[in-house]
Amino acid sequence: MRVLMLSKACIVGIYQPKLEAIARCGVDLTVLAPPSWRDERGVQQLERAHTAGYQLREIPIRFNGNFHLHHYPTLGREIRALQPEIAHIDEEPYNLATWQAQHQARRVGARSLFFSWQNIYRAYPPPFSWGERWVLRNADYAVAGTDGAADVLRDKGYAGPLATIPQFGASPDLFEPAFNRPKRPFTIGFVGRLVPEKGLHILLRAVAKLHGDWRLRLVGGGSGRAELRSLARSLGIGEEVEFLGQLPSTDLPAEYHRLDALVLPSLTRANWKEQFGRVLVEAMASGVPVIGSDSGAIPGVVGAAGLIVSEGDVDALARALRDLRDQPALRAQMIEKGRARFLAHYTHERIAAATVDVYREMLDKSRGCATIV
């Protein structure tokens, strides 16, 4: 089957093994991605880290960094040239790029699916509400990243076929436990956007309650960096907190090996709650115990393989960190459970196989991917 995927997310190199796995299922896959994407962390350039078995093609983008209005001026020409059977639109239904891609796919007779993380019911003003309704009425399939996102699509009136599949997993070959832990201070990590809703001020106040030798590594960019650095100094922990900035995705496996715990202390807002927390999956794959708040999808992603604390609770987060540091048996249990949960649910191969099942269902072909076990 011929599948065209449009995805700005696939510029990230460590996401691309999923594309290789889809191709191994017998899919003639072409992925169109922009040369870069801008957000509050900075500019992420297109990485070509894992490109075997499929085509990864760069396509010009307009309004780069504008989540709702970005689109691709040459997309129609690309779709006409490729004549796909399926257009996999890796975008939310209220975005201009999704409307554009679905319209162009219909013009060549291709079936279309879109992806959604949105786990809060949000009413958008025109023209976004108009475009969203059109996509929901005319898409052939929808994929939601979590059950919460699937519920929102149903509440908004989407009545078509729907599957819950995470957008990306991780590679067990790239993310694996380190067998030899060097002697070091208890090292806590965060990977993600340095923005208020990620709860990093809660994390800083929690680590400030720890005694003994510890370090905190914050990986990522964002608008809150200066404020967080100032807070760390005011708490008297400026020397223990390191701001590493945004790292290339291919550097992340080694970064996880520097950690003894990964924390995602997200805070629910009126217009946002944690949609997945992919870094939790990467940490579990890497043999790093995880602690998450109970915001959004985090408890469902972690299951019983990590520690969950009430969002915004500084004392509870500090206790969880002390427990992991001071109880080797608990730490070993979390490492074992985390790796097992990753292998059972979140490998690129499993996510690719589920995605190809959707493709086959869309084309009324026999389901399954013989190369995935």
Residue pLDDT, tens place only, 214-227: 999 999 998 899 99
Distance of CA 109 to the CA centre of its chain: 31
What is the rounded average pLDDT of the residues 234-248? 95
What is the rounded average pLDDT of the residues 2-26? 96
CA distance 303 to 294: 11
What is the rounded average pLDDT of the residues 282-288? 97
Nearest to 359 by CA among 102, 2, 49: 2
**Per-residue model confidence (pLDDT) at position 254:** 95
What is the rounded average pLDDT of the residues 346-352? 96
Q: What percent of the chain has pLDDT over 90?
A: 92
* CB proximity list for 136: less than 8 A, separation 6 or greater: 93, 142, 153, 156, 157, 158
Whether residue 373 has pLDDT greater than 60 = no
Whether residue 372 has pLDDT greater than 80 = no
Task: Walk me through the domains of the chain, giving residue ranges and CATH numbers.
Answer: 2-169+347-362 (3.40.50.2000), 186-345 (3.40.50.2000)
Whether residue 367 has pLDDT greater than 90 = no
| Residue 193 falls in which region: left (phi positive, over 0), alpha (psi -120 to 50) or beta | beta
Angle at 20 between CA 359 and CA 6, to 5 degrees: 60
Nearest to 229 by CA among 197, 258, 267, 201: 201
Name the maximum alpha-carbon separation found in the chain: 64
What is the rounded average pLDDT of the residues 323-349? 96
More confident residue, 372 or 115: 115
Task: Say which range, 120-129, 174-183, 204-213, 229-238, has the weakest mean pLDDT.
Answer: 174-183
What is the rounded average pLDDT of the residues 39-58? 93
**Per-residue model confidence (pLDDT) at position 371:** 40
Task: Say which range, 64-68, 177-181, 367-371, has the weakest mean pLDDT.
Answer: 367-371
Whether residue 368 has pLDDT greater than 90 = no
Decide if 252 contacts 168 (C-beta within 8 A): no
